[in-house]
Amino acid sequence: MRRLEKWMLAAILICSMSAFTACTSDNGDNPVAPQPGKKQFQLTRYLSAKDSIGVGVSTDYTYDVQGRVILEMETIINGDGTHYTNEIRYTYADHKIIEETETPGDSYQHVYTLNDDGLIVKNELIRPGEEPQNQGEYQYDSEGKLIIYDSSAPKQTVFTWKDGDLICYEVGDQTESLNRTDFTPSDLTVEEGFVMPITAGIFNEVLYRQGYYGKTPKHLVAKVVSKAETSSMMKTDLVYDYTYTLADGHITKMVEEGTLKVTAGSFVMDGPSKNIYTYVWEEKNF
């Protein structure tokens, strides 16, 4: 993923998180087709204010007439006030989505293959002049819930669901689990698609929110506990609690607060962490 937030460290250790969920549909070409007679809202801006490593993100979204994200402008704001912008464009085709990313120093594509239900089953990375690299493949159950992600590592992520909520995922190889994350659902649900802390590198956040990775949890998350170990030298442990501000059925603010410990060789970062996310929604007329 492109996110350079506090999860930058945890992403290196396969324990990054991000917030978004999705509305689902059986129509792969337009999983978020507007419903006649119902007010439609779109997430037009996402802001994160960080006090753990001093990095913030401001992201603006542009949609097509079918309500699909076609442009994502992501500005990374460093603690010293410097910033840069990544431009991400989306093209939707039959059984395929192409994501084109331009950063100040790089350009590449992700090509997502869709099954007949319009769900992503494969992610390939394509760089100029290079052969496509398989980034991972996805498996769903009969109800459209994601149950397995096979990465190119090779490692397998197994997702466990209960009563419509994702309660756990484990990342491991053939011999042992290297990463386990447990989720405690809250009692809150929202009409419009929103929130589930998930692992960076497994999902594209924008496509997840649009329903291309299958069904999403019914409830907002109240607590996350995660332990990850990518080698004997690299470990992360985190515990986060989540609180939300809602307006008209939409999340407008999420506060993520807890403790984060990162160990990388002799380096140890251990202490409290608080992260604030703001979401701006606008009513759209289709």
DSSP per-residue letters across 218-272: SS-EEEEEEEEEEETTEEEEEEEEEEEEEETTEEEEEEEEEEEEEEETTEEEEEE
Higher pLDDT, 37 or 190: 190
Mean of all residue pLDDT scores within the chain: 80
Burial class (CB in 10 A: 0-12, 13-18, 19+), 8: middle
Q: Give the Cα separation of 197 and 188 in Å (integer).
A: 15
Give the pLDDT band (50/70/90) at residue 1.
very low
The H or E element that residue 10 is part of is helix 7-12
CA 187 to chain centre: 22
Residue 271's beta-bridge partner residues? 260
- The residues, any chain, with a CB within 8 Å of residue 102's CB and separated by 6 or more, are 86, 87, 88
Provide the pLDDT for residue 61. 92
pLDDT tens digit string along 70-129? 999 999 888 777 889 999 999 999 999 999 999 999 999 999 999 999 999 999 999 999
Three-state SS at 195: coil
Q: What number of other Cβ atoms are within 10 A of residue 102's Cβ? A: 13
Q: Give the Cα separation of 116 and 126 in Å (integer).
A: 23
Provide the pLDDT for residue 38. 46
Residue 32 has pLDDT above 60, yes or no: no
Joined together, the tokens standing for residue 258 give 């807890």
Provide the pLDDT for residue 255. 92
Give the pTM.
0.80
Provide the pLDDT for residue 40. 64
Q: Which of 52-56, 131-135, 234-238, 276-280 has the lowest mean pLDDT?
A: 52-56
- The residues, any chain, with a CB within 8 Å of residue 3's CB and separated by 6 or more, are 11, 16, 18, 57, 200, 205
Q: Give the Cα separation of 128 and 107 in Å (integer).
A: 8
The H or E element that residue 209 is part of is helix 205-209
Provide the pLDDT for residue 18. 37
Mean pLDDT on 11-22? 34
Q: Give the Cα separation of 135 and 122 in Å (integer).
A: 8
Residue 13 has pLDDT above 70, yes or no: no
pLDDT tens digit string along 36-52? 444 567 888 888 876 55
Q: What number of other Cβ atoms are within 10 A of residue 249's Cβ? A: 13
Contact 246, 190 (CB under 8 A): yes
